[in-house]
Structures are given as C-alpha cells and as structure tokens.
Structure 1
Amino acid sequence: MRFPTISACLILGTLVGTSLVQAIKFDMPAFPDALKEEKCLSNWGPQNTKVKVKVKTTAAYGQNLQLRIYDNSASSNVFATRKGINEDLLIEFHTHEHAQVFVCFRNLLEEGAKADGRLRTVTFSMDVGASAIDFKEMAAQEKLKPLEAELVKLEKYLEEVDDQMAYMKRRESKLRNTNESTNERIKFLSVLSLVVLGLSGLWQVYYLRRFFQQKKLI
C-alpha cells in the first residue's frame, strides 16, 4: 500500500468535508421549447474519476423533464442525456479529463399543455471521487471487517488528495513555464524596441546633418 505525503494527510479532513455533497432541492418551471430555458449545476471532476448523479422527481402532467451531463473540456465530453424523466434516476460514469462537470435540466411544456406556471420539484446530488463509492457494498463483496473497510475508505480519500496535489503541481509547473516564456518574449521585445529607437535616432541625426549641409547651414 502506498501512503501519500504528510501534507496530503493534513488536508484530508477538508477533502472529506467538501466531498460529502448534500442534496439540492429546487423547482423547475415548465417553458416552451423555443425559450431554451435550463438550470445547470456543476462540480470539478479530476481525470478518470467516478461521478455519481442522483435525481429524484415525480411524474407531472404536461411536463417533459430533460437532463444532460457534459464537461467543459476541449473535447466537450457528453456523459449522459435523458428525456421524459418521471421517476428517480441514478447515473454513474467516469470522467475522461480534468474539467468542470455540468448537469443541466430543462423542463419543457408538452404539446397542448398550457403555460400556467407549472413547476417540477427536483432533488439533485452529485458525488465525485471517493464520495461516489459505496464502501458498504465494497466491504460486503470483499468480506472486509469494519476496521479494514475504514482503512480502505481512508486510503481512497488519501489517494484522491494525492492525485489532486499532483495535478496542482503539474498546473503550477505549466503556468510557471508559461510565465517564464512570456517574460523572455517581453525582454526580447524590449531590447528590440531599444534597438529600433536607437537606429531611428541615428537616422534622424544623419538626415538632419545632411539637410543642413546641403543648405550650407553648417
């Protein structure tokens, strides 16, 4: 078993606290399709990380609740799309890249339904990383003792912290390289500007000297 660094252990409590996402309850007004109204919620998802999305709702006459899950990476990965949601929904998937994962809802008025302020109550939660793992089920399948199950859970959280710290280091290194490259370009442009300014000054002196000589002023 590989143990992460001490600094990773120190911020484990913060990670556990932020990973346990509570459910969000909200009302989705029903709109005609032409209005393109939607409500989006998001969470950060590291690369190759498990994500669990839970949606609780009930059927409602004249309303078509739709869902779309995607990320804002360069690839614009789409993980799931659902239409006509009338019951509880559970979606599990793994991310492909480091990106913000968005879950967007639309509640459309069906054809023939009146726009009379209809609402759809939705309860939503999204767990990312270790918080998306069912450790009770894992312990039952692998026949782990309570202490062993807690150690496995702790290891998963520590690995997640370690992975996030490694990603932050890579990002910091990339930004530092970009900053150094930008500084080098600025230095080059500054030197080039001084050279051009100096040559321009010499040319002006040379031109004025010839002008005055031709006019026999000097």
Structure 2
Amino acid sequence: MRICAMILRPTAARLLCSVLLLISLLPPGATAVWLNLPASGTKCVSEEIQPHVVVLADYAVISEDHTRGIPTLSVKVTSPYGNTLHHQENATVGQFAFTTTEAGNYLACFWMDGGDKGVGASVSLDWKIGIAAKDWDSVARKEKIEGVELELRKLEAAVEAIHENLLYLKAREAEMRVVSERTNARVAWFSIMSLGVCIVVSALQLWHLKRFFQKKKLI
C-alpha cells in the first residue's frame, strides 16, 4: 500500500489499493488445469465451494499419439457428501454444470476407460466458479445493456461475491471457534478425570501397603 501511495496521488492510490484488496478477497473464479492421466489409476481435482454457487467446467482429451486415435476416459464429479453430480464414460470431450447445495470440497475424478488400458493421455479442464461461470453475453442481450453499464453489472456481481465470501468465512470461523471451545472443554474434563483417577489409585495403593505392613507387623 505504501508503494501505491508513492506512485499515485493519494485519492487514486487509495482507490487502486482498495480495488486490489477487493480482488484478493474474491473466491476462486476460473481455474484452467492440465492433467496427465496415467495408463492406470485416477487423478482428481478438488475445489472448496460455498453453497448456492454456479459451477461450469469443460474438459477435453488431448493425445500426442495420433496413430492410435484419441483415447476415451471416464469422469465422475461428487459433492462433499458423496452425491454424484456428473458421471460420463467413453468421453473425449464433455461439460458439467451444477449449482452447489452444500459447502465443502467438490471432487472431479478422471481415469482411462477399460478399452484404453496401457494408453495415457492429457486432459484439459477449464473450471469456472461463481461470476466467472455466468454467461454475461446472455445477460447483456436479455437486459439490453452494454459498455459501461455491463461492466458495472459485473463489478456489482463481484462485490456481492466478495460479501458472500466474507460471510462464509465468518461462519466458518464461528464454527471452528465452537469446535475449538468444545475440544478445550473436553480436554479439561479429561485432565480433571485423569488427575482424580491418579489420586484415587494412589490412595488405594497407600491403604493396601499400610494393611500389608500391619499384617507383617512391620509398623
């Protein structure tokens, strides 16, 4: 922030640095991933997403060995609770889209089909989340907006996404604080119980040793 203030005027510097801070608070929007699938085995990509977020992804198989044709793969996308959101077999290209209903890690797994065992391939995955997955061209045509108004609408959506992300982080922090407090309370009770058991066992040992020495007439 000091660098911004040195280069620009104070007002412009504050505005630019505020925009950069807002951008840093944005949740992940678009992620392009390149996966090298082995001949056998599975590779997965996970993303932690909030509820009520639109997810759109395109994938395609790319093979360097053109003499054998393009191999096919299987794709499975699951929610944090194990629900299958997308499943496709014998695919070379495809797309999946859904709106999240629960918060957590969403998993997309890829593996080679049985007929292509022994052949590896590369997969291009374009994963878009939230405002990055929104079709702004359709919005512009439907609402008849363009230019600055369209850009303002995008900024408004970005601000809403930041606000929702902050609320989500606040809720997660509250949940973690409750879990931490419960864990600390349980550890404290366990420590007290352990100390009580040690005291009782020590007292029983002293009582037993005293009776033993009395029977032996040592004391």
> 203-212 or 48-57: which moved more?
203-212
| 1:90 aligns to 2:100 (yes or no) | no
Q: What secondary structure does 1:105 align onto?
A: strand
Change (3 A) 1:186 1:55: closer
Q: Are 2:12 and 1:12 equivalent residues in the alignment? A: no
Once residues 213 and 109 of structure 1 are traced to their aligned partners in structure 2, the CA distance between those partners, rounded to angstroms, is: 80
Alignment match of 1:69 (pick from 58, 77, 92): 77
Say which SS state the counterpart of residue 75 (structure 2) adopts.
strand
Per-residue deviation, residues 124-154 of structure 1 (Å, max 9, x unmatched): 2000111111222212211124222222211
Paired with 2:35 and 2:181, the residues of 1 have a C-alpha distance of 47
Deviation at 1:50, TM superposition (A): 0.4
Aligned-pair distance for 1:58? 7.3
- Structure 2 stretches lacking a partner, 5+ long: 1-17
Aligned twin of 1:51: 55
TM-score (normalised: structure 2): 0.74
> Counterpart of 1:90 in structure 2: which amino acid?
Q
Q: How many residues align?
A: 198
1:55 counterpart SS class: strand
Q: 1:175–1:9: structure 2 CA closer, same or farther, 3 Å change rule?
A: farther
Specify whether residues 154 and 217 from structure 1 end up closer, same or farther in structure 2 by C-alpha distance, changes over 3 A only.
Answer: same
Identical aligned residues as a percent: 27
Match of 1:150 in 2: 151
Structure 1 residue runs without a partner (length 5+): 1-7
Secondary structure of 1:52 counterpart: strand
Give me the whole-angstrom Cα distance separating, in 2, the residues matched to 1:120 and 1:215: 83
Equivalent pair of 1:25/1:123 in contact (CA under 8 Å): yes
Take 1:166 and 1:89, find their aligned partners in 2: how far apart are those partners? Answer: 34
Rounded Cα–Cα distance in structure 2 between residues aligned with 1:164 and 1:82 = 31
Secondary structure of 1:63 counterpart: coil
The residue aligned with 2:200 is 199
Q: Report the RMSD for the aligned CA atoms in angstroms.
A: 3.1
- When residues 126 and 15 of structure 1 are mapped into structure 2, their CA distance, relative to the original with a 3 A threshold, is farther
Does structure 2 retain, via aligned residues, the 8 Å contact 1:39–1:104? yes
8 Å Cα contact 1:64/1:109 also seen in 2: no
Cα 1:180–1:212 change in 2 (3 A) is: same
2:107 aligns with 102
What is the deviation of 1:216? 3.4
Structure 1 segments of 4+ aligned residues over 6 angstroms from their partners = none
